[in-house]
Amino acid sequence: MKRLMTGVASGALLALLAGCSAPDTDPAASSAATAAPDTGAAAPTVADAAQFLSDAEDELRAFSEFGSRTAWVQNNFITYDTNWLLERMSTQGTEMSVRLATETARYNDLDLTTEMSRKMNVLRAGITLPAPSDSAAAARLSELTTRMGSAYSTGLMEIDGEMVDHNELENIMRTSRDPEFLSHVWSGWRDSYGPEQMATDYAEMVEIANAGARDLGFSDLAEMWLSNYDMPAAEMEAEVERLWGQVEPLYEQLHCTVRGELNGLYGDEVQAADGPIRADLLGNMWAQSWAALADVASVSDAGPAYDLTQLLVDADYDPIRMTETAETFFTSLGMEELPDTFWERSLIVQPRDRQVACHASAWNLDSVDDLRIKMCTRVTADDFVTVHHELGHNFYQRAYNQQDFLFQNGAHDGFHEAIGDFIALSVTPDYLVQIGLLDPADVPDASADLGLLMDTALDKIAFLPFAIMMDQWRWQVLRGEIQPEDYNEAWWELRQSYQGIVPPTERGENAFDPGSKYHIANNVPYLRYFLSFIMQFQFHQAACEMAGWEGPLHRCSIYGNEEVGARFSAMMEMGASQPWPDALEAFTGTREMDGSAIIAYFEPLMLHLQEQNATRDCGWD
Ligand code: X8Z
Ligand code: ZN
């Protein structure tokens, strides 16, 4: 989601450029602290600190609107000139946010209120990509980030004499079952954004941003990114490992089953029955969601389920109707409709006459209610979930718009990503009947539950190791543990170790496969999605309990439940004003992120997979 900065001095500025990133939050308990500079001037008072924060919020709010509108135009019309404007804006934004972050050090020794300290921390640690405070560095950083982002969004590949864009290439990966063609398209994408130039730009960007992070008192940018979770960076990293440990066994079982099915479909030559899986066979450009394999990896003795893409197509849904349907889910929970300007100003259908950043994002341009999405929507089940995801960002943005500017953000960035996905977990067969998409006679009976769970697992469980390895790679790069000459090899070591996948072909010397992913080319931290995929099931479980639901979790829908809606809105309205455990507790009653909800949701499937895999040699090494 975007907005120049929500809560950030400037990183959000860059996060802005960076696409769908929720502006970064506040590291209330960040471990690194810059020493107060000894300027010889009179020691500042608490009143001075209050004035500084109030001025900073005014300055940021004003800049945020200018920055958001600039970025909106660039994302919707990618040209030489809009890149120029974006670069210029982003340089100013970085300079401003770094200046404000640096100034917080003056107030280090004061006994500030909790609220003031939180705001200081937002200013200091919330910058996604800081630069050292000389303008040459900020300008160079903007040049590099704009070039990478724009190269990513405008990449094309030639197929049969025609230039094909990313949206269409993604479509091929989802639907083709021709291994040679898949490998060709998979590799073509990874040539389409100028990998050599991007790798060089990336390495230089890392140097500048790390220097910026060190100037602000962090050991490197990885520590700074991890300092936005109300606990010391090292503790947060350990938290992530703990959560991954909870869900890893489920992923291994899913991997084992899917590998077996792919081996059956393609034969040993294409996909062996043991070892890692070929990355291009999983129905997705990045092997991050395997939902497109629902037909391949179906559960054989389960009763008939349904194909949501087909239901949408058969009912003549178009992108606007999909968006309206998602909006209705939110309003059924008691939330206000989206403003008319949402419909007038959003980009919901891919324009054919110009280049746009197709990766879906949600925006609040004026920090009040100029809410919009930008999405090249296709009539598919995937995009039906994504449109709920994007509206989740918008409804959250509006819910916290009464907060002070520096608290206009998610409780942490994982919350921002989880809102809409949590809502989409309520897209159950009964809900589809309620909105007229599914015939009551076609509601799958209990014998189909394993099939329904499998479909969801191919999306939600397959994603987890991907989400973790994305930032494992970046943290290691930012810490200097992975050097530029090893970027690609280290990427594939992590892909293999976490996901158990390998590239379809030998990767060349000049490959830069991390750049194939939007969030790396555009510098959007990715840990947020891992956290979201854990927490959305916590939200769902708590909401279903609140609703008095007694059946299996995957059949529970909170559609129309205003009581749950009111409790959820109360959490959203808090924004980033309190430490995230307080926000989590307000809705779920627990103060911890915890994998037990996602495990409970998939428990019947886990038992089934274990049984099915009993004779298989799982794992990949
Ligand atoms: O980037 C997104 C959203 C915008 S914040 C469309 N997502 C991640 C991705 O596409 O990689 C949603 C799920 C993961
Ligand atoms: Zn998002």
Cα angle 155-160-163, degrees, rounded to a multiple of 5: 25
Active site residue 481: no
Write the residue with the smallest CA distance to atom 13 of ligand 1.
Answer: 529
Q: Is the CB of 386 under 6 A from ligand 1?
A: yes
pLDDT of residue 37: 55
Q: What stretches in the chain show pLDDT beneath 70?
A: 1-40, 135
User: How high is the pLDDT of residue 302?
Assistant: 82
pLDDT of residue 42: 87
pLDDT digits (tens, 9 = 90+) for 462-493: 999 999 999 999 999 999 999 999 999 999 99
Candidates 390, 393, 417, 554; catalytic one: 390
Residue 17 confidence (pLDDT): 33
Index of the ligand 1 atom closest to the CA of residue 393: 5
What are the structure tokens assigned to 255, written together? 């991997």
Nearest ligand to the CA of 417 is 2
Which DSSP string do the residues of 413-477 spell out, in sequence order?
HHHHHHHHHHHHTT--HHHHHHTTSS-GGG---GGGHHHHHHHHHHHHHHHHHHHHHHHHHHHHH
pLDDT reported for residue 316: 98
Establish how many alpha carbons lie within 13 A of residue 168's alpha carbon, considering only the half-sphere containing its beta carbon: 12
Tokens 């660039």 correspond to 74
Q: Is the CB of 529 under 6 A from ligand 1?
A: yes
pLDDT of amino acid 560: 98
Q: How far is the CA of 300 from the centre of ligand 1 (A)?
A: 31
Dist. CA 572 → ligand 1 center (Å): 20
- Is the distance from the beta carbon of residue 286 to the nearest atom of ligand 1 less than 6 Å? no
Q: What is the pTM of this model?
A: 0.95
Interval between CA 167 and ligand 1 midpoint (Å): 14
- Closest residue to atom 8 of ligand 1, CA basis: 529
Would you say the CB of residue 20 lies under 6 angstroms from ligand 1?
yes
Residue whose CA is closest, atom 3 of ligand 1? Answer: 360
315, 381 Cβ separation under 8 angstroms: no
118 Cα to the center of ligand 2, angstroms: 24
Q: Which of 359, 519, 540, 554 is catalytic?
A: 519
pLDDT value at residue 419: 98
- Whether 493 is catalytic is no
Q: What integer pLDDT is reported at residue 255 of this predicted model?
A: 98
pLDDT reported for residue 474 = 98
Cα(412) to centroid(ligand 2), Å: 13
**Ligand 1 pocket test target in 385, 386, 461 with most atoms within 8 Å of CB:** 386
Contacts of residue 502, defined as CB under 8 A and 6 or more positions apart, other chains included, come to 275, 276, 277, 278, 279, 492, 495, 496
The two three-digit tokens of residue 137, written as one number: 């560095």
pLDDT at 580: 98
Please tell me the distance between residue 545's alpha carbon and the centre of ligand 2 in angstroms: 26
Give the pLDDT score at 12: 40
Q: Is the CB of 498 under 6 A from ligand 1?
A: no
Atom of ligand 1 nearest to the CA of 518: 11
